[in-house]
Structure 1
Amino acid sequence: MTADRPVVPGASLVSQTSQQPEPPVAPPSTWARLWRWPLFQLAVYVLVALAAWRLLGEVHTILVSTLVAYLLANLANPLLTRLERRGVPRPAGIVLLVLAFFGVLAMISPLVSTIVREVQALIAQAPSLLERLNDTLRRLSARSPLLASAQQQFEAWVKVNQQALPGRLSTSLGSLLSPSGALFSGVKGAFGLLGQAFITLVIAIYMMAIYPSIGPFLVRLLPLRFQAHAADVGGHVGRAVGGYFRGQITVALILGVVIATGLTLLGVPSGLAIGFLAALLNIVPYLGVILSVVPALLLAIPLGGLKVALVAALFLAANQLEGHVIAPRVVSHSTNLSSLAVLLAIVFGVETFGLMGAVIAVPLVALLKSLLDAYYYPSRPYRAVAPDAVPGPVVAPPVVVTDAEEAEPVITAR
Structure 2
Amino acid sequence: MIKIFIDLGTTNIKIEIYKNEKNIESISKANKDIYFDNENLFCAEKLFDFLRDFCIDVNKKYNSNILIVFSSAMHTILFLNNNYEQIGKGRTLIENISFDIPNDKKELFRSINGLVNSSFLPIYKIKYQTSYSFDHITTLKSYILYKFSGKKYIEISDASALGVVDCKNLNYSSEILDYINLNEVNLPKILTKRRVFKTQINNFELSIDLGISDGAAAAIGSVTADNEVSLSVGTTLGIRYISDSFVDTKYKYDYCFPIYNNKYIYGISSSNGGNNIELIAKQMNIKLDEIESLDFSKCKLLDVDIYFFLERFEQKILNIEDIKIDINVLYTYIYQLFLRISNYKKIIESIKGKTIILKATGGIFNNKYILSVAKKILGDDIIISNKDNLSVIGLIKIVQHW
If the length of structure 2 is used for normalisation, what is the TM-score? 0.26
**Greater CA radius of gyration, 1 or 2?**
1
If the length of structure 1 is used for normalisation, what is the TM-score? 0.25
Give the structure with the higher percent strand: 2
